[in-house]
């Protein structure tokens, strides 16, 4: 087996998790590790340094490039946001040199009527464009999650983006709200594509999110949906409202969904209810983005 020599340690360091990749001289992933020492679990430089040492382990002392919440106000050190529009070169210019062999990438800021921010997703976007250069011409990239991002790309630049708190609202309502009492305990037993689609379709009617959320309760109360299907209906409502808002000013010509495959499948299904073709789906583009940005920086 021929493997390229190790060349870069790439860190995708989010709020709740740290993912480390040992990348070869052609950008391939030679090895990967993961720990629960996300940025939100750590406080102070020493804690971050120790978490890095632990995950680096016996890997060689290569240049390190990190993206994500590690560069936030409450991270290892703050790497101020780069402004939109931004391409790989702009992100590279804003990288923060932590020490001789360690750089932290900036997040991205879009200052419209109200400001919006991302940290980590800008690197996933660069990775998606690196893996699918045809997307760089013009596309809309959807990165679903706790705080879903919808980013518009033109000529390799992120022109602007919007965040939706879809995943966080789901978790709050699933765990702490009056709706939670009608649902089975945690987990998603008996996933129901039908209930999910019913939620998406309700959202397409645009009854107002704060109003439609209450229908999770009433549909359960009148036994029109069984308790085990209510989480999927809630998920459909929330994802449907996100999509309805983003498509309000017209559907993008080219759309791709980036992230966890199961979640991307949900978005693909929901987009289909809005009449869109199946989008391109991409998983785990952070290593490709870190590699591309490391090359741009000359690491």
Residues near its own copies, by CB under 8 A: 73, 113-117, 147, 162-166, 168-169, 172-173, 175-178, 202, 205, 207-215, 217-219, 221-222, 224, 238, 241-242, 244-246
12: its two tokens: 């995708």
Q: Are strands 96-99 and 102-104 parallel, antiparallel or unpaired?
A: antiparallel
Q: How far is the CB of 228 from its own copies (least distance, A)?
A: 18
List, in order, residues 6 or more apart from 234 with CB less than 8 Å away. Answer: 170, 173, 174, 179, 199, 213, 216
First vs last C-alpha separation in the chain? 26
299 SS3 class: coil
Q: How far is the CB of 39 from its own copies (least distance, A)?
A: 13
Return the number of the residue (105 or 118) whose C-beta is nearest its own copies: 118
List, in order, residues 6 or more apart from 280 with CB less than 8 Å away. Answer: 132, 135, 255, 256, 257
Return the number of the residue (167 or 289) whose C-beta is nearest its own copies: 167
Q: How far is the CB of 252 from its own copies (least distance, A)?
A: 16
- Give 81-115 as a DSSP string: PEESSB-HHHHHHT-EEEETTEEE---EEEESSSE
Return the number of the residue (2 or 113) whose C-beta is nearest its own copies: 113
Q: How far is the CB of 74 from its own copies (least distance, A)?
A: 9
Return the number of the residue (199 or 289) whose C-beta is nearest its own copies: 199
234 SS3 class: helix
5: its two tokens: 């020599």
Q: How far is the CB of 33 from its own copies (least distance, A)?
A: 27
Return the number of the residue (182 or 276) whose C-beta is nearest its own copies: 182
Phi/psi of residue 23, each to 5°? -105, 140
Q: How far is the CB of 214 from its own copies (least distance, A)?
A: 4
Q: Are strands 148-154 and 96-99 parallel, antiparallel or unpaired?
A: unpaired
Return the number of the residue (26 or 186) whose C-beta is nearest its own copies: 186
Q: How far is the CB of 190 from its own copies (least distance, A)?
A: 22
Return the number of the residue (216 or 282) whose C-beta is nearest its own copies: 216
Question: Quick check: bond before 85 cis, omega within 30?
Answer: yes
């Amino acid at each position: 087996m021929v493997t390229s020599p190790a060349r870069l340690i790439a860190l995708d360091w989010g709020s709740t998790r740290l993912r480390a990749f040992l990348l070869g001289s052609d950008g391939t992933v030679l090895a990967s590790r993961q720990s629960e020492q996300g940025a939100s679990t750590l406080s102070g430089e020493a804690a971050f340094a120790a978490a890095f040492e632990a995950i680096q382990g016996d890997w060689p002392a290569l240049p390190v490039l990190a993206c994500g919440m590690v560069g936030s106000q409450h991270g290892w050190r703050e790497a101020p946001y780069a402004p939109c529009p931004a391409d790989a070169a702009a992100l590279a210019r804003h990288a923060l040199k932590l020490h001789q062999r360690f750089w932290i990438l900036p997040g991205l800021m879009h200052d419209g009527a109200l400001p919006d921010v991302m940290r980590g997703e800008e690197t996933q976007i660069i990775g998606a464009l690196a893996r699918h250069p045809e997307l760089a011409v013009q596309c809309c990239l959807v990165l679903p999650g706790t705080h879903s991002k919808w980013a518009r790309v033109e000529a390799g630049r992120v022109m602007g983006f919007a965040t939706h708190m879809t995943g966080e609202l789901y978790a709050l309502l699933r765990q702490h709200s009056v709706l939670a009492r009608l649902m089975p305990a945690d987990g998603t037993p008996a996933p129901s594509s039908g209930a999910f689609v019913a939620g998406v379709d309700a959202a397409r009617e645009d009854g107002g999110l704060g109003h439609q959320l209450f229908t999770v309760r009433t549909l359960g109360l009148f036994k029109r949906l069984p308790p085990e299907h209510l989480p999927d209906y809630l998920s459909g409502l929330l994802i449907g409202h996100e999509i309805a808002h983003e498509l309000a000013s017209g559907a993008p010509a080219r759309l791709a969904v980036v992230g966890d495959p199961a979640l991307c499948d949900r978005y693909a299904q929901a987009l289909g209810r809005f009449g869109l073709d199946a989008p391109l789906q991409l998983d785990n583009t952070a290593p490709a983005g870190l590699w591309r940005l490391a090359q741009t920086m000359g690491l």
